[in-house]
């Protein structure tokens, strides 16, 4: 499988990743642009998806989000969803300059947080000709309230306000763990399956992943509403892949959001929980995505 390192400019920030060349396809070929979710780096199974796409005749362009992994950007470990949305668009622009890429046949794939990003990108960027949104975050407001006990929310707000004042006074942004073994301890993703997947995948595949994000990354999540863009994706074909027992980006939120999208669209519910899509349920998540892109980009 032909893979090479790439880097490209995102209006002053260098983003780095991999380009997988489509096997057995004439150049220029259709291409899938891909980035990972909340704090994750590309080694956390994005290579597996890209290999599946490339083996079927699709180029795959994979990159680390700004401030994470191999990509530049400051402050490190900060997740600004709107900056990540714009970076998808920078990646699409870069892809279109490559001789292997047919700029008129580009799709976007995202999972979890980036599953929300691709909904926004597909709605606002008509260069996107197909979109796959896997186990997506669709509403930061609703998701925050699904994960955080109601009597803890005021405490979070007080932390956000204190951090804002500290930054105003010139101090560094406060940091918070991405995951914690104790789901009631302060963390960005307070579910037991989040802790298990991130710590295990960090150990096995992704030594560059760090278990911290800026506190304001969590605040920005609460402000982010990809669901508002779902009606505007059409006529770009949308495949949404929620998980049956997702407790991190709750299943019912994703399915309710899907109902707001217009045709052409398809819903396929994956087995298991949020993180099963990457490992035990990889075939069930990757094959429908591959087939969706082949259907709408390769013809």
Q: Which tokens in the block code for residue 55?
A: 């083996």
The pLDDT-based confidence of 246 (bands split at 50, 70, 90) is: very high
The pLDDT-based confidence of 186 (bands split at 50, 70, 90) is: confident
Instruction: Return d(Cα 117, Cα 113) in angstroms, integer.
Output: 7
Residue 203 has a pLDDT of 97
pTM exceeds cut of 0.95: yes
Residue range 128-171, pLDDT digits in tens: 999 999 999 999 999 999 988 888 889 889 999 999 999 999 99
Residue whose tokens read 């929310």 = 153
Average pLDDT over residues 252-269: 98
Q: What is the rounded radius of gyration, in angstroms, for the C-alpha atoms of the chain?
A: 18
Nearby residues of 265 by Cβ (< 8 Å), 6 or more positions away: 233, 234, 237, 238, 239, 240, 258
35 in Cβ contact with 88 (< 8 Å): yes
Which domains are present in the chain?
Answer: 3-146+225-298 (3.40.50.1820)
Instruction: Return d(Cα 77, Cα 210) in angstroms, integer.
Output: 8
Residue 11 C-alpha from the chain's centroid:
20
Residue 129 has a pLDDT of 98
Q: Which tokens in the block code for residue 108?
A: 């976007």
Average pLDDT over residues 38-50: 98
Residue 14 has a pLDDT of 98
Alpha-helical segments (H) within 107-149: 113-124, 140-147
Integer CA distances (angstroms), 145 to 136, 139, 152, 238, in order: 16, 10, 10, 27
Integer CA distances (angstroms), 115 to 180, 220, 295, in order: 23, 16, 20
């Amino acid at each position: 499988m032909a893979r090479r390192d790439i880097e490209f400019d995102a209006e002053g920030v260098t983003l780095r990743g991999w380009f997988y060349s489509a096997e057995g396809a004439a150049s220029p070929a259709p291409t899938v642009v891909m980035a990972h979710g909340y704090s994750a780096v590309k080694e956390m199974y994005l290579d597996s998806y890209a290999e599946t796409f490339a083996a079927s005749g699709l180029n795959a362009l994979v990159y680390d989000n700004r401030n994470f992994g191999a990509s530049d950007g400051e402050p490190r470990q900060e997740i600004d969803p709107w900056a990540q949305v714009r970076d998808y668009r920078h990646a699409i622009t870069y892809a279109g300059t490559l001789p292997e890429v047919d700029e008129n046949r580009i799709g976007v794939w995202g999972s979890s947080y980036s599953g929300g990003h691709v909904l926004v990108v597909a709605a606002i960027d008509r260069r996107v000709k197909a979109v796959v949104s896997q186990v997506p975050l669709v509403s930061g407001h609703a998701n925050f309230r699904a994960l955080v006990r109601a009597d803890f929310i005021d405490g979070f707000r007080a932390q956000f306000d204190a951090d804002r004042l500290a930054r105003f006074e010139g101090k560094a942004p406060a940091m918070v763990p991405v995951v914690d073994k104790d789901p009631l301890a302060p963390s960005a993703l307070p579910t037991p399956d989040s802790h298990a997947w991130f710590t295990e995948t960090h150990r096995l595949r992704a030594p560059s992943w760090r278990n911290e994000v800026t506190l304001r990354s969590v605040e920005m999540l609460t402000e982010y509403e990809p669901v508002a863009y779902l009606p505007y994706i059409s006529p770009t074909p949308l495949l949404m892949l929620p998980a049956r027992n997702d407790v991190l980006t709750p299943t019912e939120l994703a399915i309710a959001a899907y109902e707001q999208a217009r045709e052409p669209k398809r819903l396929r519910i994956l087995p298991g929980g949020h993180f099963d899509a990457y490992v035990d349920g990889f075939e069930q998540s990757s094959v429908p995505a591959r087939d969706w892109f082949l259907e709408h980009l390769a013809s």
